[in-house]
Every structure is written in C-alpha cells, then in structure tokens.
Structure 1
Amino acid sequence: MAAIGFSKTDISQIVTVTFTLFAVIDILGSIPVIISIKKKIGDINAMLATLVSGGLMLLFFLIGEQMLQFMGLDIKSFAIAGSIVIFILGLEMVLGLEFFKPEKEGSAKSSTLVPVAFPLIAGSGTLTTVMSLKAAYEYYNILIAIFINLLIIYITLRSVNLLERLLGPSGILVVRKFFGVILLAIAVKIFMNNTGLVTHK
C-alpha cells in the first residue's frame, strides 16, 4: 500500500481519479431514479446516503487488498477484472443499456440506504473501481478524489429538483454519454497497464 503523505499528491492524478469515480457513480445520470424515489417516499436524507456510501467506499478501499490476499488473489488480477466492469459500465452509459436495476422503494430510511446509498451510489461498479484504481494511482490521491466525490454526491442529493430543471432530459443524456466515453478510455488504460501491454518509462 502506498504511503500516505502530501508529497504523494498529484493534481493530474486527483483530477483523473475524481472524474473516473464521478463517471462510475454517475450521480447526475441517477437523478431521474432519485426523483422517482423522492416522489414516492418524500425527502431523501442526503447526509445519511452520503455517509453510508462513503463508508462503503472507504471500507472497501482500506481492506480490499487484505480481502484479496485472503482469497489468494492479487491487485493486478483484480484491476484487470475491474477494468472489464468499468468498460461494461461505459458501454452501458454510451449505448443506453441497463445492467444494474435499483431495488423497489420501501420506507424513507430504507430507500435512502437501499437503493440510493447502495447500489445506486456505492454499487459494485464503484467499489470495483476504487480497488482497481489502487493499481495505477497513489493512495492519497484516491482518498482525496473519494472525498471530492462525496461532496458532489451530497450537494447533488440536496439539489435534485434544481438540477432536473437546469439539465433537462437531454442534458442528463449528454452528461451520461460524455462520461461513458471517458470510462471506456480509462478502462482500456487500466487493462493495458496491468497486463504489461504498456511499458512505463
């Protein structure tokens, strides 16, 4: 595991990882689902959803490597598998496919946790991406990117109605497709880095 320290911070890495997680989480693309849940159960607890999803991401980030070692796996193998998942998520966004469907809504509190916090925000794609990024980026930069995304998630959940009016259906569609293309490129990069197809200077 990379050492934690300010000397490890890299703005370009932080921006790349932040955009990667933002694209995978796809909080803007999830606005229609969130609005639908909100109409059925009332206000969604933005703070609770943010804390729970953030906790899942940090837990998986911190002990994911130990879990892999326990199962006899290595970080590169997981990264390659993760890149495939990220690639599929990118295809989902670009082509308008849907592989992961949210659970049916229940009470306000349970709906805040499931499906908003998990799997809508911190779903399998997000958790896999967090682990995969560790093979290519510094520990500290990933943590910063996670916290930036948690801030974006909180603000978005608090501003769902405003964002819906500002973006409109076509705007949300454009955002999804744009970040879908970014995901495809990043997935290819992670795959090549961990299969030895790219030689680092």
Structure 2
Amino acid sequence: MYLPNGATTALNEIRNAAIVRFSVLALSSIFFLVDPFAAIPSFLAITDGVDAVRRKRMARKASITCFIVLTSFGLAGQLIFKMFGITLPAFEIAGGLILLLIGLDMLEARRSPTQEAQGDTEEGAAKEDAGIVPLGIPMLAGPGAISSVMVLVGTVPSLWNWEMAAILGSIAFTCIVSYLVLAGAGRVKTVLGETGIRILVRIMGLLLVALAMQFFVNGLTDLGIIAKQ
C-alpha cells in the first residue's frame, strides 16, 4: 500500500514516540523496583569487614543473579500466563497492588518486606558469600521487580519485537547500574549521605506509586470497567 511521504513521516513519528514512551515506562518501573540505592545500607552491613575485591565480587554476583532472574521471568512470562490461565488485567491489578505497597514503604524511606524481610541482613552477614541470596534475590530481584517485568511482557504481542528488546535492555541497564552502585557503595554513601539516599528513595517511591495507579487503571480499562480514552 502506497502512502504519501507526509503520511509515512507521521507514522514513523508516532511509532518512534511509542517506542520512547514504552522504553521509559519499562526502564523506570524496573529500575525503581530493583532500587540499588536503597540496598546500600544492607549491602554495607552484609559486607562489613570484607576487602574491596570480595565486595566487588559479591556485587557482581548479586547483579548477575538479578539479571538472570528477571530475564527468565521476562522470557517465560507469557508461558506462565497461559499455564495458569492468568489474564493480563488480573496480573496488572495484582502487580499494581504490590507496586503500591512497595511504593508506600519507599515513601517512608524504608525497604518493603517483599524486598528485604526481617533478618535477611543478619543472615547475609553470617554467610560466606551472600551474593546470590539474599543480595541478588530478593533484595534486588524481588516480587515487585518480577511482577513489573511480567506485566510489561504481558502487553507484548510476541517475544521477538522492539518492546521485548526494550524490556531486556532495561533489565540489563538496571543490573549494570546496580553493580556500579553496590561495588562503590561506600563512596556512594559518602557522596549522597544518609539523607540523600532517603530523599532519593522517597522520590522513587512517589513515582512508583504513580506507576502502580497506572497499572490499576490499565487493568480496569482492559476489563471494560473504565472506558478507554
């Protein structure tokens, strides 16, 4: 089908805007839920007395674990939906509820129990190597981050398109930043300070609450309870 140059340009602009919008949504929702800055105090407590080389090794192992877990759920997300008969609207509402609870905790500058249960830090400090558990999962790749990835994947028509590339790219970027933040946790804490980290966590929490409400709206819209705009 032939389209005039003007129409082709307009379609390309719309497509590019959709790509940017979805990529920003994917990156923000995944990064805010992994939230490596909020994990700094626990990471420093777990690695207290550990030399710099071993601390970087644990940060790398935690980031790789986070990448493997989130990527696995991303690739298997649609299969899981089909296997258990879960509809996307139901998961959007459930995921929105999890995001809301985590966001409310972050607004108070504290880690949600879904990200860090009581005793996780002490258990990690007692381990010889806590890079996989509890640092990688659940402190980085917790239920909130997994839910967010699966909701995003549920909106993708197939595994091999630009939306999926945006999701996997967001996971990779988040895990790289997580490694850099945790590997330099001492310097980051010195630069930002306790107050700076809490302010940053609260800002992320506010944005996360907004994302949670958007997931709710999307789920209710897909169910037909709210009219599409």
Match of 2:88 among 72, 75, 84: 75
Pairwise mapping of residues 63-142 of structure 1 onto structure 2 (< 5 A)? 63-96=76-109, 98-99=112-113, 100-101=116-117, 103=120, 104-105=123-124, 106-109=126-129, 111-136=130-155, 138-142=163-167
Pairwise CA distance, 1:139: 2.2
Matched, 1:170 2:195: yes
Task: Report if aligned partners of 1:41, 1:108 keep a CA contact under 8 Å in 2.
Answer: no
Instruction: Find the aligned partners of 1:165 and 1:25 in 2 and give their Cα distance.
Output: 21
Please tell me whether the aligned partners of residues 79 and 131 of structure 1 are also in contact (alpha carbons under 8 angstroms): no
- Which of structure 1's runs of 4+ aligned residues deviate more than 4 A? 197-201
Which of 16, 26, 33 lines up with 2:25 in the alignment?
A: 16
CA distance in 2 between partners of 1:198 and 1:51 (Å): 40
- Give me the CA root mean square deviation: 2.1
TM-score by length of 2: 0.77
Larger radius of gyration: 2
Quick one: which of 170, 175, 181 aligns to 1:156? 181
TM-score normalised by structure 1 residue count: 0.87
Deviation at 1:145, TM superposition (A): 1.0
Deviations 1:63-120 (A, max 9, x none): 12212221221222112101110011100101345424262123332x1111100100
The CA distance in 1 between the partners of 2:145 and 2:74, in whole Å, is: 11
Instruction: Identify unmatched segments of 5+ residues in structure 1.
Output: 1-6
- Identical positions, percent: 23
Count of residue pairs the alignment pairs up? 194
